[in-house]
Amino acid sequence: MAVPSYTVVEGGSIITPRGFRAAGLHCGLKKTERNDIGAIVCEVPAAAAAVYTTNIFQAAPLQTTRESLVNGVLRAVIVNSGNANACTGKQGDADAYEMRALAASSFGVDEQDVAVASTGVIGENLKMDCVRDGISRLADVLTNEADGGEQFSQAILTTDLVKKELCVSVSIDGVPVTIAGAAKGSGMIHPNMATMLAFVTTDAKIGSEALHTLLKRTTDNTFNMITVDGDTSTNDMLVAMASGLSEQKKELNESHPDWAAFAEAFAAVCEHLAKAISRDGEGATKLVEVVVSGAESAESARAIAKTVIGSSLVKTAVYGADANWGRIIAAVGRAGVPVNPHTVDIKLGDIVVLTASQPVPFDEEVALEYLKGDTVSIFVELHMGDQQATAWGCDLTYDYVRINAAYRT
């Protein structure tokens, strides 16, 4: 296995890259005392890019953020949890714009340079008195100390059980460049974005156009390859900001000699966050990984991997530690892409259960023990080409129904 070009920064957070501060606190949007409003602020104009949910019903903050990103620059992101501000009509639009204006005034930046994100219950108006109070207090607690990153990561969570974050360092022009990420997501997760918010910061010198190209390409292979329950939300957003405050000599683009190393490190952060969302799926007990190889095209490999990882029957079989490969091959066959029905191999971890689309003897007890683990890998070899793809998800449990049956209460 190749040695990665990056190293993990232990204890790093969203504000480890130079130029960033963050904060989070409780303002009253949630019924619990958990943080529910947070911000990331850059001390200089940051090159910025974003990708959004594919759901036709898009929450008000997404349009606000799109308008802010017209020039590819941001200074701040203001985020609330507990309320999605989605399907809230003209009032929701007005509230999102007010959040942007309040944050700009509080943080001393131009209104055009503020992104807005929300997550939580759909169809309820924001408690703007709480939002106003929260934003006014955030400015006093913004910090580049570790606690700022911690409080922000907590502020974006909804049904999540744990925060999701990673920070890495990579050498560019012989000097260290830092990339960090924080995300939330646990349910209503499906390929092509999910009910997730994710934020990536870096001190790399990179233009907004190159950053957007990298972000879109990386998203297709990470966040767009996860599923928990097959639903895509109204609020999904991934925002990347680059302060440009590293000591590297030349601006990064695809012709830079260290571009591949930077792209690998950037992808590592996004993949870690995507897998963390899958592992923390509502009610989940294990992370499930599906690796499809030998496909005719990358698109075919992705389609099959996402179909298998999204199958409720596969997910329940994994939960029950049932080595039912029939559910896997059935999902492969309904993915809507060409498959040779005579050449498919399937493995559960190292356990071969199917060769050339025919069952082979395997030890059920060994398979049972493997499937009881907290990470399950399913390998599908098509023997049709040289393309592959990986998707991530989780098992489907009784607790998923319990959590979502009472989401609003």
Q: Is 376 helix (H, G, I), strand (E, B) or coil?
A: strand
With contact defined as beta carbons under 8 Å apart, do 176 and 18 qualify?
no
Among 256, 262, 260, 184, smallest CA distance to 223 is for 184
Residue 300 CA, chain-centre distance (Å), reads: 22
Dist. CA 132–CA 64, nearest whole Å: 17
**8 A C-beta contact, residue 260 and residue 171:** no
Which ranges of 42-81 would DSSP assign to H, the alpha helix?
Answer: 60-68
H-only helix segments in 320-362:
325-333
The CA radius of gyration of the chain, in Å to the nearest whole number, is 22
**Of residues 119, 195, 222, 390, which has the active-site annotation?**
195
Give 164's strand partners.
Answer: 183
Tell me, what DSSP letter sits at residue 252?
Answer: B
Find the length of the chain.
409
d(CA 340, CA 320): 29
* 27 burial level (CB within 10 Å; 0-12, 13-18, 19+): buried
Residues 56, 49 contacting (CB under 8 angstroms): no
Query: 235 to each of 25, 166, 218, 322, how far by Cα in Å?
Result: 21, 22, 19, 35
Task: Quote the CA–CA distance of 201 and 381 in Å, as a whole number.
Answer: 36
First to last CA, the chain: 48
Distances (CA, A) of 405 to 29, 169, 186, 197, 229: 21, 42, 15, 23, 14
Q: What pairs with residue 291 in β-bridges?
A: 379, 390
Written as one letter, the residue type at 72 is G
Among this protein's residues, is 218 annotated catalytic?
no
Q: Beta partners for 73?
A: 47
| Cα distance between residue 92 and residue 71, in whole Å | 24
**What residues are annotated to the active site?**
195
